[in-house]
Amino acid sequence: MVEYAAKKALQMFVTVLGVVTLVFFTLRLIPGDAASAMAGDTLSGEALERLRAQLGLDEPLPLQYLGYLQSLALGDLGETITTRIPIADLLFRALPITLSIALATIVVAVLLSIPLGTLAAFMVHKGRRWLDNALTGAAMLIDLMPPFWTALVLLLIFSLGLGWFPASGQLNWNDPGSVALRLALPVIVLSLSQVATLARITRTAVLDVLNEDYVRTARSLGWSELRVLFRHALKNAALPIATVVGLSFGNLLGGTVIVEFIFTIPGVGNLLITGINSRDYQLVQTLIVVYALIFVLINFSTDLIYRALDPRVKF
Amino acid sequence: MTGKFHKLLGMGMTALVALSMSTAIAPSAMAQEKTLTIRFYDDPAGFDPANIFRIENENIAFNIFSGLTTYDGETGEIVPDLATSWETTDNKTWTFKLREGVQFQKGYGEMTAADVIYSFNRIKDPQTASPYAAELEGIVSMEAPDPYTLIIELDAPNGNFLHTVANYHQGQIVSQKAIEEAADQVRWQPVGTGPYYLDSIDVSSRIVLKRHEDYYKGPAPIETLVFNIIKDEATATIALRNGEVDLMMRANQEENLATLEAAGFTMNSVMDYAVALMVLNTEFEPFADPRVRQAVAHAVDFEAISQAIAPSLQQAYHSMLMPWMAVYTDDIPKYTYDPERAQALLEEAGYPDGFTFKNLSTSAQGVTEVQQFQIDYLSQVGINMEMELVDTPTFNQRRNAGEFDTATRLLPAVNPDMILFSFLHPDNLVPNGLNGARYDNPEVTSLLEAARAEPDADTALDLYTQVQQIVAGDLPYIPMYANNVYWPGKPEVTGVHINYLAQVDFWSVDITE
């Protein structure tokens, strides 16, 4: 196990270093830089060059890269180019918000999709397909709706129409109730597509298991349907489901970018959009490294959970 | 089970009662404390006047700082601010009389001529690396014979110097002590003499301004201004209709305007705030011929396009200057929709079958409806307009470098002399300046230089008129439409006057019951 963890850690290090390098250089391949993004309609010529020098954008690229690696190694995330705010400060505020949304979404999605998917599989197994059909139809419909559109529709209904949730406003952590109200719609938007995916995966996985010999054996022993379903079927179907939940969490981080923008939530996604629009290399590359780290850590823990669920899995 | 339920119910009821009591007490305490919540549409990037870029940040800075002069919210005229009066005989030596007893915010003391000298020198100092240094380059010396008198000597006459010292970028007055104390955090700790001071910033979320109690005109009616950052306009509209914000900075979608107006919101606005120009690169061969440029202007019916797409937000326009500017003239050639005339001009210029050009544009907006119409109109006289879409920073970079056949530019509506000089003088050809058309007409150049130096207002006006007439004939830039700016708000929010820099002086804003 220790050897496994060490091997994994090395893999993680190489992956993150690769991401750092790739992001650093591709960002700079894109035309336009922070200076021209800031200048907009007003600056050109000498004034623009002066600004570029002031922002440190005129230094040779290899020097910038080495400097960046060095500061990362020292745990210094640096400052944004355009606002000179320490990025660690920004992350300290934004990351808990984004992770709360992602975690809440996963919890909601798992709580809804696993019973739904299991039930659908069970009914299909019994020859009653209506729930399965309804589920497949709803899942297709949800997949067709882009999240920004769903977000706006939900805003119109629940915020403007019914007045249940606010469309804007500060996240005041001293008032958890208000934070919950503020984050509810983004979580619903993100959960919708997660539920659709997870329920279908669960349904397929459970259905596969229900046709296995050992389930038939269990049933022939006179066990109740529920016991068969939960003790045997679901437990054995958990493996593929856990993998998908892990992957979903990674994908969710991408989804938060859109909902944070629309619901004006000051999370990491919002920072990322700001960084990209203002070509704030420092901010964007650091955020992407953070995303990569989270992703890698999730994969790592998924692997561990995998092993816990199925001791036969060898590393 | 029932016992537990009752206990829970009891707790809930107690909480409800407590809540209703607290809301019952709240209104009387709120009555004195007025707070206005404004939708802000971008992230704050700092408020150091030497380094402000985005107009959104300028909106905040405009209320924190003051200049020697400022712009009237309704007429756009230059009016006194920190200077009560000024004199010049030759546009070279300017003597300002400063207002006495003006206080800096946060207890930084009285503002005097020494602060003005410090502020301008700070912009000019290469160490500051201010992009606005060039605006003050003409200053040779500054003297303060007493704390309330300032004499500024320029290297050449500049009849538009009052624009330079207005409450905008380089003209905003800072306190030396505050700047030195803030060190590298100036952008987040601004101290000025304006009606509001910066209280707190929550990045990506909100900016809070508090009333400056010692403001020289007296304290503003509203104690607290909360700028809520809401980038998406649809969300902002819902927030306004929900009552989460009282005032919405900049509504840019035609359909939202109609909805909000129908819902009873006050449509605070400023008309003709700036003009959108089609920049024709005269180094691209067909556009080297003024007849081709005129043909393009005659071929597109901008009037019909504006009417069809955004009748509230824009209208067809014919000049590089706006009607409210002091040197504006209406007596210039205009180009009405006339495809036959366009065709004839193209034939005269040697392009009877038209030609193809590429229009550089940002992918942020995609191909706009205006551009789709433009493509269609131009194709009817044989001109093929192709779209080249790039992201905004790339667009800015290529436009600043002059790498395009045509591009669009929104003229900053500030100083008419600055506009004409930047866009028409050969010293400012891209990439050195904003003259993206690469327009170089020696006659216009000498007229521009003479106009700037001319101390007599009437003679200067005559020179500027000649410039506008020649340029409207040469047409290196085609004025497409003038833009309007809207800040829809609740009807009880009064005194919102958007000036021609699209800024609001919150000192005049109030909430009525």
**Is B434 touching A (CB cutoff 8 A)?**
yes
Report helix angle A147-154 to A235-262, nearest 10. Answer: 70
How high is the pLDDT of residue B391? 79
pLDDT at B156 over 70: yes
Mean per-residue pLDDT, B237-264: 92
Alpha helices, DSSP H only, in B31-131?
55-64, 113-124
Burial-class residue B309 by CB neighbours within 10 Å (0-12, 13-18, 19+): middle
pLDDT at B45 over 90: no
The token pair that represents B84 in the structure block: 């009560």
Continuous segment of H or E residues that includes residue B78? strand B78-80
Mean per-residue pLDDT, B52-75: 87
User: Cα–Cα distance between A167 and B238 in angstroms, integer?
Assistant: 7
Contact B393/A261, CB-based, under 8 Å? no
Higher pLDDT, A219 or B47: B47
How high is the pLDDT of residue A1? 64
Q: What SS3 class is residue B397?
A: helix
Q: What SS3 class is residue B314?
A: strand
How high is the pLDDT of residue A314? 59
Size (chain B), residues:
513
Q: How far is A138 from chain B (nearest CA, A)?
A: 26
Split at pLDDT 50, 70, 90, the class of B468 is very high
Give the angle B445-B404-B350 at the CA atoms, nearest 5°: 75
User: Cα–Cα distance between A41 and B434 in angstroms, integer?
Assistant: 9
CB A145, CB A255: distance < 8 Å = no
SS3 letters across B466-502: HHHHHHHHHCCEEEEEEEEEEEEECCCEECCCECCCC
**Is B44 touching A (CB cutoff 8 A)?**
yes
Chain B residues touching A54 at Cβ < 8 A: 129
Which of B65, B46, B70, B67 has its CA nearest to residue B57? B46
Contact B396/A40, CB-based, under 8 Å? yes
User: Cα–Cα distance between B483 and A173 in angstroms, integer?
Assistant: 41
Contact A163/B242, CB-based, under 8 Å? yes
Chain B residues touching A267 at Cβ < 8 A: 204
pLDDT at B28 over 50: no
Which of A106, A61, A56 has its CA nearest to residue A78? A56
Contact A168/B39, CB-based, under 8 Å? yes
How high is the pLDDT of residue B492? 96
How high is the pLDDT of residue B26? 42
Q: Give the DSSP letter string of A242-259.
A: HHHHHHHHHHHHHHHHHH
Q: Residue A228 has what DSSP assignment?
A: I
Which CATH code is given to the segment(s) A88-309? 1.10.3720.10
Of the ranges B4-8, B138-142, B167-171, the best mean pLDDT one: B138-142
Continuous segment of H or E residues that includes residue B39? strand B35-40
- What is the overall mean pLDDT for chain B? 89
CB A145, CB A154: distance < 8 Å = no
Strand ranges (E), A113-229: none
> Percentage of chain B with pLDDT > 90?
67
Cα dihedral sign, A127-A128-A133-A135: negative
Q: Which of A42-51, A238-247, B197-206, B335-344 has the lowest mean pLDDT?
A: A42-51
Split at pLDDT 50, 70, 90, the class of B131 is confident
Burial-class residue B188 by CB neighbours within 10 Å (0-12, 13-18, 19+): middle
Give me the phi and psi of B251, to 5 degrees please: -100, 120
pLDDT at B421 over 80: yes
- Amino acid identity of B120? F
Contact B184/A84, CB-based, under 8 Å? yes
How high is the pLDDT of residue B27? 43
Which residue out of B43, B132, B428 would a mutagenesis test of the A interface target, given it has the greatest number of A Cβ atoms within 10 Å? B43
For the entire predicted model, the pTM comes to 0.84
Return the domain boundaries, chain A. Answer: 14-74, 88-309
Over its length of 315 residues, how does chain A's per-residue pLDDT go in tens digits? 677 778 878 888 898 889 889 988 888 887 777 777 776 666 667 777 777 777 778 888 888 899 888 988 888 888 888 788 899 999 998 999 999 999 999 999 999 998 888 888 888 888 888 888 888 888 888 888 888 889 999 999 999 999 999 988 888 888 888 889 999 999 999 998 888 888 888 888 888 888 788 777 877 887 777 777 777 777 777 877 888 888 788 778 878 888 998 898 999 998 998 888 888 888 998 998 888 888 888 888 887 777 777 777 655
Which residue out of B57, B127, B188, B203 would a mutagenesis test of the A interface target, given it has the greatest number of A Cβ atoms within 10 Å? B203
How high is the pLDDT of residue B442? 96
Which of B14, B34, B21 has its CA nearest to residue B511? B34
Q: How far is A306 from chain B (nearest CA, A)?
A: 38
Cis peptide before B323 (omega within 30 of 0): no
Contact B241/A263, CB-based, under 8 Å? no
Chain B residues touching A84 at Cβ < 8 A: 46, 184-185, 187
Higher pLDDT, B247 or B135: B247
**Is A26 touching B (CB cutoff 8 A)?**
no
Split at pLDDT 50, 70, 90, the class of B369 is confident
Question: How big is chain B by its Cα radius of gyration, in Å?
Answer: 26
Q: How far is CA B353 from CA B235, B289, B291, B344, in A?
A: 48, 15, 15, 11
Split at pLDDT 50, 70, 90, the class of B4 is very low
Pairing of strands B247-248, B35-40: parallel
The token pair that represents A296 in the structure block: 């890698």
Q: How far is CA B373 from CA A178, B68, B308, in A?
A: 47, 45, 10
Which residue among B228, B393, B398 places its CB closest to the CB of A37? B393
Mean per-residue pLDDT, B254-281: 92
Q: How far is CA A213 from CA A127, A128, A203, A228, A233, in A?
A: 19, 22, 18, 12, 11
**Is B400 touching A (CB cutoff 8 A)?**
yes
Q: Beta-carbon neighbour count of residue B437 at 10 Å?
A: 30
Which residue among B184, B400, B412 places its CB closest to the CB of A36? B400
- Amino acid identity of B441? N
Give me the half-sphere count of Cα atoms (radius 13 Å) on the Cβ side of residue B41: 16
How high is the pLDDT of residue B493? 97
In terms of phi and psi (left: phi > 0; alpha: psi -120 to 50; beta: otherwise), the region of B436 is alpha
CB A139, CB A128: distance < 8 Å = no
Q: Give the DSSP letter string of B238-297.
A: HHHHHTS-SEES----HHHHHHHHHTT-EEEEEEEEEEEEEEE-TTSGGGGSHHHHHHHH
User: Cα–Cα distance between B74 and A11 in angstroms, integer?
Assistant: 64
Q: How far is B423 from chain A (nearest CA, A)?
A: 12
Split at pLDDT 50, 70, 90, the class of B3 is very low
Chain A residues touching B187 at Cβ < 8 A: 83-84
CB B335, CB B435: distance < 8 Å = no
Nearest C-alpha in B relative to A267: B204
How high is the pLDDT of residue B7? 45
Which residue among B134, B393, B410 places its CB closest to the CB of A32? B393
How high is the pLDDT of residue A59? 82
Continuous segment of H or E residues that includes residue B358? strand B356-362
Q: Calculate the CA dihedral of residues A255, A256, A259, A265 and round it to 10 degrees.
A: -170
**Is B230 touching A (CB cutoff 8 A)?**
yes
Which residue out of A27, A36, A153 would a mutagenesis test of the B interface target, given it has the greatest number of B Cβ atoms within 10 Å? A36
